[in-house]
Amino acid sequence: MRRFLFLVFIILFSCNSKSEKNDYFKDISENDIKLFPPKPGDWLYSYREKGQTFEQFINSKHLVPTKENNIIYLRPIGKFNSLQVKQIELTREYLEIFFQLKTETLKDVSNDIIPKHARRIGPDQNEQFLAGFILDSVLKKEKPQKGIGLMALTEVDLYPKPEWSFVFGLASYRDRIAVSSIYRLHDERLQNKDFNLCLERLLKICSHEIGHMFGLHHCIDANCAMNGTNSLSETDEHTLRLCSNCQRKLNSGLKYDNVKRLKELEKYFKDNKLTSGFELMEKDLKNIQ
């Protein structure tokens, strides 16, 4: 009899836990913002994507943390000034909250690791690195302890192939590696006056690329951190927040406490004076109370 009651308790507890999670996603879905019809130059105007339902995500092969692999790593490449170093640390802090996984920054390495054949002078007469070389010949060789994902950050501009003028970043989701450049995220030189704008862009790009590593496709349903982007102006239109459907996908794989994550994000945005992110988290917190 005791064993029977114990089994009933376990079943009820499991059902309640699932119900609470579903209620959370239902409650915050009221704050999802529907996307405007794409205009010429927008990502969805150029690429007619089908999106990804929660069921499609569940039935796909996607990365799940284990005891052996559960740390996200950042690898700076280049010579960064003090403001850029500060942004990289703030990005590390953000990703640790966003994915609720330990995130570490590895020692920066010199631009000298990029050989001449993987460099060029770009259309704006500044040097660029071949993004694919960094993935295939630099990051693939790295095996950081307990690493689940590795992203390089460069201070030099990137290009993916000769016919492209530039790219914000590139990733191999199969290999769990990515590279992004901070070169185009600010005016000619990062200054205090545009520090927060540049930081917000960097947070969007890094969380987006690492989100792909965990199996999230581009979101076509709502304004979301997983929206595709063709330009910096389009990136600025996108929110830092994952929509309710993308949050549900991420949580199903990473198994974190939704409310804890939400409160930590709210505090991060408040502490770093990122007003738009703070207001979004406030709205979600209000809806779940």
Active site residues: 209
40/38 Cα distance (integer angstroms) = 7
> Measuring CA to CA, how many Å separate 141 from each of 136, 138, 172, 217, 257?
8, 6, 14, 26, 34
Strand pairing of 177-181 and 169-172?
A: antiparallel
Contact predicate 151/180, CB 8 Å: yes
> Hey, which residues does 232 pair with through a beta bridge?
none
b/e map 36-67, b = 16+ CB within 10 Å:
eebeeebbbeeeeeeebeeeebeeeebbebee
